[in-house]
Chains A and B, each alone.
Chain A
Amino acid sequence: MDESPAEVDVTMSQVAAPLAIEVQEASENDAATGEVVFDLHDVNVYYGQALAVAGVSLEIYKNHITAMIGPSGCGKSTIVRSLNRMNDSVSGFRLTGECTYHGNDLYASGVDPVEVRRRIGMVFQRPNPFPKSIYDNIAWAPRILGLKENLDERVEKALRGAAIWDEVKDRLKTSALGLSGGQQQRLCIARSIAIEPDVLLLDEPCSSLDPISTASVEDLMQELKRDYTIVIVTHNMQQAARVAERTAFFSLDVSEGRRTGILVEYDETSKLFTRPTDKRTEDYVTGRFG
């Protein structure tokens, strides 16, 4: 009921898309010419004694949408959360290998994780608006970070950027908890971009949303990649195919009773879905994995 008709139109065309995987056309940002934002080399992540993810090497390019797919528990969240040091607060978390951001080692000793997260924002699986007004959800972080000038404009720009301005502009002072799930998730995206980060990490941002809200978030990502580098974890392969230039397929390696996440294949999305080089990738994207 809150959704505007225009939005529903966009959605319908997307929802009604055939089940066959439609691949995002190669964009002007060709992988070969892209600037590298993240460069991971032989990254291993441990939780306590357990090796959760092993030997991940990949490059993430500027102004690209990079998708991560794979079965549950294969370490997708672990890897994205390692990119902005959200795992620091997990007791027992340990990372080895090289993990650089614009050439700077993210885990070097002088690195301040608060500063890392200020540059690399994150949107979570479940919408998590603050129990504050819609306006304060957006304005809170800029205020604390000292971005107090033209705060109203900043809030409006963020809400417009997240394609939710028209729906909330008349109720900015009301609680954000009264919004629908899809609106809350777009509010969370607006909150992230209000501080103008460099990268947005999205960990299954649509998994608690209905198809209409999902479509609006996907449209939004296409808009946002002009200004931001985006990494999205998703369980929905169609979604990866629709939005991402490049896709990383993770899987679980089960040996000696231990389950370790590994990066199986990382390539341009079109290639990964149509001509995968690894049998496991092929099985997964065609729905025959096991």
Chain B
Amino acid sequence: MASVDYSGPLTPTGNLRRRRVVDRLARGSATAAAVLAVAILLIFIYSIVQHGASVISLSFLTKNPLETFSVSGNAPVGGIGNAIVGSLLIVAIGTAIALPIGVLIALFLTEFASPRWAGPVRLALDLLYGLPSIVIALFLYGLLVVGHGQAGVYASLALAIIMVPLIARTTGESLGLVPKELRDASLALGISRWRTTVGLTIPSAFGGIVTGTVLAVARAAGETAPVLLLSSLANPTQTSGSVFSQPLNNLPYDIYNFSVEGGATNFAKAWGAALVLVTFVLVANFTARALHARSRRMMSR
């Protein structure tokens, strides 16, 4: 009856040989897919560095672009100075708007809302997250730009709308990781819900909140549609205008502009600006990971 000779040598019997082939194939293709993803990223970074590194210089990082548009063909002068400043301003204001709103939404969802309310709010956040940025930009364009003209702060608003669901989600996740026992301990000491949240829950989730915010900043910094529609008609020679009343030059728009301008010099500058932007995004991501790991360690002793 027994199909296996139990006293025989311990080599594969029955269909084990076939199962092992299937196992190898599955493992092999999964590994290959993972390697492919890493390879694409590395190739991508390599080519950006290769094309962009040559134009990076102090003057490229600090001067404004138009100085070269008029003298195309000559050795590159000028650069992306005002685009860096503009991007920083636009993203910083966007973050300042999105951070408190995102954190408050997360607090509402994890600490205060009944399940009946939490569901619809979560759904709304997911839908907001899925909205194409060009649609958000178009909406704000119709609402604010038509009749008034562009301003850097309008782009900040669009970026804030993009960042809020990201921040709310990651904050909510890290608030959810704070053990219920900690909250109970605080409540049992005669401390109110809100005080418990501010004094205990938020500090415990702080690492996660920072991580989520940094990731949202990294995502927002490269968003192109909002800045194209809401903050692109800057006078490129101007070092900085008022972010509240004037469009500001910025990195995604500069990359676009340098590329469509044509000419080897301008194309190299597009790569250079891309290198700056990607460096910022990568640094932000690594920072977020480090902070996340650190806060994990703090929570578990």
Chain B binds chain A = yes
List the interface of chain A (C-beta within 8 A of B): 84, 86, 89, 91, 114-119, 121-122, 124, 126, 128-131, 140-141, 144-145, 175, 177-178, 188, 191-192, 195, 197
* Cβ contact of A117, chosen from B187, B203, B301, cutoff 8 A: B187
B170 within 8 A of A: no
The answer on a CB contact under 8 Å between A195 and B190 is yes
The answer on a CB contact under 8 Å between A144 and B200 is no
* Known contacts A131-B204, A131-B299, A144-B195: A121-B181 contact under CB 8 Å: no
B188 within 8 A of A: yes
* Known contacts A178-B301, A188-B185: A141-B191 contact under CB 8 Å: yes
The answer on a CB contact under 8 Å between A131 and B298 is yes
The answer on a CB contact under 8 Å between A195 and B181 is no
Which residues of A lie under 8 Å from residue B299 when comparing CB positions?
131
The answer on a CB contact under 8 Å between B190 and A124 is no
* Cβ contact of A124, chosen from B114, B185, B298, cutoff 8 A: B185
Q: 13 A-B residue contacts at CB 8 Å?
A: A84-B188, A91-B114, A114-B190, A116-B190, A119-B190, A121-B189, A124-B188, A128-B184, A141-B186, A188-B185, A191-B189, A195-B189, A195-B190
B12 within 8 A of A: no
Which residues of B lie under 8 Å from residue A191 when comparing CB positions?
185, 189
Which residues of B lie under 8 Å from residue A175 when comparing CB positions?
301
Tell me which residues from 287 to 301 in chain B have a Cβ below 8 Å from any Cβ of chain A. Answer: 298-301
For the A-B complex with A114-B187, A119-B190, A131-B298 known, give 20 more contacts whose Cβ atoms are closer than 8 Å. Answer: A84-B188, A86-B188, A114-B190, A116-B190, A117-B188, A121-B188, A122-B184, A128-B179, A128-B181, A130-B200, A131-B182, A131-B299, A141-B189, A144-B191, A144-B199, A145-B191, A177-B301, A188-B185, A195-B189, A197-B190
B29 within 8 A of A: no
User: How far in angstroms is the closest Cβ of chain B from A9?
Assistant: 30
User: How far in angstroms is the closest Cβ of chain B from A290?
Assistant: 33
B15 within 8 A of A: no
Which residues of B lie under 8 Å from residue A128 when comparing CB positions?
179, 181-182, 184-185
Which residues of B lie under 8 Å from residue A129 when comparing CB positions?
185
List the interface of chain B (C-beta within 8 A of A): 114-115, 179, 181-182, 184-192, 195, 199-200, 203-204, 298-301
User: How far in angstroms is the closest Cβ of chain B from A79?
Assistant: 16
Which residues of A lie under 8 Å from residue B204 when comparing CB positions?
131
User: How far in angstroms is the closest Cβ of chain A from B198?
Assistant: 10
Determine the distance from Cα of A86 to Cα of B181 in the docked complex, in whole angstroms.
12
Residue in A closest to B300 when the chains form the complex, CB atoms: A177
Determine the distance from Cα of A73 to Cα of B184 in the docked complex, in whole angstroms.
20
Which residues of B lie under 8 Å from residue A178 when comparing CB positions?
301
Chain A CB within 10 Å, residue with most, of B186, B188, B195, B299: B188
The binding surface of chain B is classed by DSSP as: helix
The answer on a CB contact under 8 Å between A192 and B188 is yes
Chain B CB within 10 Å, residue with most, of A89, A91, A144, A178: A144
* Known contacts A144-B195, A144-B199, A178-B301: A118-B190 contact under CB 8 Å: yes
User: How far in angstroms is the closest Cβ of chain B from A60?
Assistant: 18
* Cβ contact of B190, chosen from A117, A130, A188, cutoff 8 A: A117
The answer on a CB contact under 8 Å between B187 and A89 is yes
Determine the distance from Cα of A117 to Cα of B164 in the docked complex, in whole angstroms.
36
Which residues of A lie under 8 Å from residue B181 when comparing CB positions?
124, 126, 128
Chain A CB within 10 Å, residue with most, of B190, B195, B299: B190
Determine the distance from Cα of A115 to Cα of B195 in the docked complex, in whole angstroms.
14
Which residues of A lie under 8 Å from residue B187 when comparing CB positions?
86, 89, 114, 117
User: How far in angstroms is the closest Cβ of chain A from B114?
Assistant: 7
Which residues of B lie under 8 Å from residue A122 when comparing CB positions?
184, 188
Which residues of A lie under 8 Å from residue B298 when comparing CB positions?
131
Give 7 closest A-B pairs by Cβ, nearest first. A118-B190, A122-B188, A128-B181, A141-B189, A177-B301, A128-B185, A117-B190
Which residues of A lie under 8 Å from residue B114 when comparing CB positions?
91
* Known contacts A91-B114, A128-B185: A115-B190 contact under CB 8 Å: yes
User: How far in angstroms is the closest Cβ of chain B from A127?
Assistant: 9
Residue in A closest to B187 when the chains form the complex, CB atoms: A117
User: How far in angstroms is the closest Cβ of chain B from A174?
Assistant: 11
The answer on a CB contact under 8 Å between B185 and A117 is no
User: How far in angstroms is the closest Cβ of chain A from B163?
Assistant: 28
Which residues of B lie under 8 Å from residue A84 when comparing CB positions?
188
The answer on a CB contact under 8 Å between B184 and A118 is no
Determine the distance from Cα of A82 to Cα of B195 in the docked complex, in whole angstroms.
22
Chain A CB within 10 Å, residue with most, of B114, B181, B185, B204: B185
Residue in B closest to A191 when the chains form the complex, CB atoms: B189
* Known contacts A91-B114, A131-B298: A192-B184 contact under CB 8 Å: no
